[in-house]
Amino acid sequence: MKVFPFTVLLPDDKSFIIQQVNAPHFYPYLHRHEEYQITWVEEGEGTLIIGNCMHAFKSGDIFFIGTNLPHLFKSNSESFNIRTGTGAKGYIVFFNLNGKLAPLFNLPEMKELKSFIVQNSHGFKLPAKYNRSVSGKLVDIYASPPTKTDTLFKFLELLNELSGIRNIVPLCSPVYSPAISENEGVRLRNILNFIMQNYNTPITLENVSDVAYMTPQAFCRYFKKHTGRKFISFLNEVRINEACKSLVAGNKGHNISGVAYGAGFSSITNFNRVFKSVIGSSPKDYINTYNKVNNSPMLSI
């Protein structure tokens, strides 16, 4: 029942796992696993595809990801550091309520914390005000000897802090269900990978339906069923998401028309129309607003 095979191997001397990431990019395949996941993006930026939604991520962001929730941290090529050979740094915690931790979470005193975790299985992004405290706890847990009870206490302190967050906004729609077959998961992975790798080229409905081995009509029904959106709407969101990053990148060699064509749009008129429908403002207004907030030089327009 996995979008892509991903097994978290738990050593005999650990009840949960914390890993440090220092690589050219994050795990590059749409995948899911039974474990809950907490990811701190210490360095890097890109797009998080999770369930049937997309979110931009950047350095400092922390995400809580639910069990069996398909996800992919797609790193931007611009974030790759040639000098160091890295583009993604951070820490990831994996834990399973039904594994070695089950006896602990079945205790009466753990009922409230367990309820919080289960109720947020659609994931959430931590409000920025928690980033410093939570990231510090992650570093502290990673540096602790895994066989010491103090490490487990620090892990519980981390979860307790998360449980104090209010007004949580799910990363994907609460109506989204991760219960899809393995074959459907592989097919959906191939479709999303194709879109993310080719969004800046002319993609027709026939192109993407061929990837899914479906007729265009059957593909449209399938895609709407599993993502909640029409194919062209999803493709436009990917393109606009990438365009936004280019618009505020600070490269004066860029202009709005160049960004539009670079993101896969065939005309400026169409780009402006789609941009306003997705973002709520024109590309020029988006740049001006960003520069006012960040006090950075304006892109040539």
pLDDT tens per residue across all 301 residues of the chain: 334 445 666 777 889 999 999 998 888 877 888 899 999 999 998 889 888 788 889 999 999 999 988 888 988 876 655 555 567 999 999 999 998 999 999 999 999 999 999 999 999 999 999 999 999 999 999 998 877 789 999 999 999 999 999 989 899 876 666 666 666 667 877 888 888 889 999 999 999 999 999 999 999 998 888 777 789 988 998 898 888 878 877 554 468 999 999 999 999 999 999 999 988 889 998 888 877 765 544 444 4
Q: What is the DSSP letter of 134?
A: H
CB atoms closer than 10 angstroms to residue 9: 7
CATH number belonging to the domain at 17-163, selected among 3.40.50.970, 3.40.50.2000, 2.60.120.10, 3.40.109.10: 2.60.120.10
**What percentage of the chain's residues is helix, strand, coil (to nearest 5)?**
45, 15, 40
Of 199, 125, 122, residue with least CA distance to 162:
125
Of 61, 70, 84, 74, residue with least CA distance to 26:
74
Of 177, 168, 50, residue with least CA distance to 116:
168
Tokens of 232: 């062209």
For the chain, domain boundaries: 17-163, 182-294
pLDDT of 6 reads 59
Find out whether 263 and 243 touch, Cβ atoms under 8 Å: yes
- State the Cα–Cα distance between residues 137 and 121, nearest whole angstrom: 22
The CATH number given to 182-294 is: 1.10.10.60
Find out whether 75 and 69 touch, Cβ atoms under 8 Å: no
Give the burial string for 75-99 (b: 16+ CB within 10 Å, else e).
Answer: bbeebeeeeeebbbbbbbbbbbbee
